[in-house]
Amino acid sequence: MIPFSPPRIDERTIAEVTAALRSGWITTGPRTKDFEKRLAAYCDVGTVIALNSWTNAAELVLRWFGIGPGDEVIVPAYTYCATANIVMHVGAKPVMVDVLDDFTIDPAAVRRAITPHTKCIIPVDIGGLPANVPEIMRIAEEARLVFAPTPTSNAQLQLGRPLVLSDAAHSFGATINGRKVGAQADITGFSFHAVKNLTTAEGGALALNMPAPFDNAALYKHFNTMSLHGQNKDALAKTQAGAWRYDVEFAGWKCNMTDLQAAIGIVELERYDTETQPRRKAICDRYSAAFAGDERFLVPDFEQDGRVGSYHLFMLRVARATEDQRDAIIAAIAKSEVSVNVHFIPMPMLTVYKNLGYRIADYPNTYKQYSREISLPVYFDLSDAQVDQVVAAVKEAVGENIQ
């Protein structure tokens, strides 16, 4: 059986995690701090904080910005539920908009959705292709004219426009106009979940890129405190002899990264550009070559107007398939012992959002792309022979189901 996306765990990963275990320091400590510095250097941004997931990291951002009941956050209808669930957690309203043919949020739809209550826009880099974040930043700037900050939020008063929080869960290492993702939005969130390009088993990080007069180093400290119950001294700081006294400044959350996770991440990052990404690109290129000349298929874009993707997913589309035909094709592929997936079931089709009144009919391009989409396996240890096996299984299944 060809799995969909197993993590790459080898002796190097095991040795580094073992070293962390033997060091006696297993929670947030020197390895996490080292990982953060390496992430910042890699993305060429000043400040990065590592936390326990994209979800909790991004939710801290919404809470820090003072988003709550009565506020709106613009998200694409086509994304994983985490993007909108965090908006629900803070009591605000996810305002869903349609996507373009490359799966990323439609800037024109974002512009139409802006109201005085729009506090944040969350573009998503689906499959690893960056959304048009520079254009979303321009839209957020224009929204300054109608922005109605909550008087209780200093951050909103100071920024004076909606915050742009990039969902870069798929796009670590991708670039926009030659610069790594992380440098474009106000704040960019990465996920290091087990299936992502770079993993720490579970984990996430925020690249902090707030404009002046915000102080990103001070913001780092604040998010660090938010992630540890609002406690003003972390476990490492308390290990100094006599340094036992601490205070809790507010009722914070608990979502720090551990040194065991960081140990995995450090190994992953060291070989990301030299091993992981070249292999992922080679796999995607091989799929593209096999499907591009066949008119039954649409291959995904890995480059679009200065945006270069991270080869996270190979989002193949069967040009003329209905949703039912696509489902039948996946069932036939499974018979050939190949695991594929669909990224993603649009949020308006999920019970939680259907019950809140969202309707997929309002997002025609989201439905059109979803209904014919099949994601193929992409992972470091997938061999060329296995790629060819996947291609054969897909072509056979499509031949059986589409005349």
Interface residue list for ligand PLP (CB under 6 A): 53-55, 79-80, 82-83, 124, 167, 169-170, 191, 193, 204
Tell me the closest approach of the beta carbon of residue 189 to ligand PLP, in angstroms: 8
Closest to ligand PLP by CB, 13 vs 83, is: 83
Closest to ligand PLP by CB, 129 vs 137, is: 129
CA 150 to chain centre: 28
Closest to ligand PLP by CB, 113 vs 131, is: 131
Helix 259-270 vs helix 11-23: crossing angle, to nearest 10:
150
User: Going by C-beta distance under 8 Å and a sequence separation of 6 or more, which residues neighbour residue 316?
Assistant: 287, 291, 297, 298, 299, 300, 373, 374, 375, 376, 394
Closest to ligand PLP by CB, 31 vs 312, is: 312
Closest to ligand PLP by CB, 89 vs 395, is: 89
User: What whole-number distance in Å separates Cα of residue 311 and Cα of residue 23?
Assistant: 35
Tell me the closest approach of the beta carbon of residue 126 to ligand PLP, in angstroms: 7
Residue with the two structure tokens 């506090």: 119
Closest to ligand PLP by CB, 16 vs 167, is: 167
Tell me the closest approach of the beta carbon of residue 52 to ligand PLP, in angstroms: 8
Tell me the closest approach of the beta carbon of residue 54 to ligand PLP, in angstroms: 3
Closest to ligand PLP by CB, 83 vs 371, is: 83
Closest to ligand PLP by CB, 83 vs 216, is: 83
Closest to ligand PLP by CB, 52 vs 401, is: 52
Widest CA span in the chain: 76
Tell me the closest approach of the beta carbon of residue 304 to ligand PLP, in angstroms: 18
Tell me the closest approach of the beta carbon of residue 81 to ligand PLP, in angstroms: 8
User: What whole-number distance in Å separates Cα of residue 166 and Cα of residue 209?
Assistant: 11
User: What whole-number distance in Å separates Cα of residue 341 and Cα of residue 50?
Assistant: 28
Tell me the closest approach of the beta carbon of residue 193 to ligand PLP, in angstroms: 4
Closest to ligand PLP by CB, 49 vs 159, is: 49
User: What whole-number distance in Å separates Cα of residue 257 and Cα of residue 340?
Assistant: 30
Which of these, 121, 142, 255, lies nearest to 184 by C-alpha position? 121
Tell me the closest approach of the beta carbon of residue 74 to ligand PLP, in angstroms: 15
Tell me the closest approach of the beta carbon of residue 134 to ligand PLP, in angstroms: 20
Pairing of strands 163-167, 187-191: parallel
**Which string of b and e fits 344-364 if b means at least 16 CB within 10 Å?**
bebbbbbeebeeeebebeebe
Tell me the closest approach of the beta carbon of residue 392 to ligand PLP, in angstroms: 28
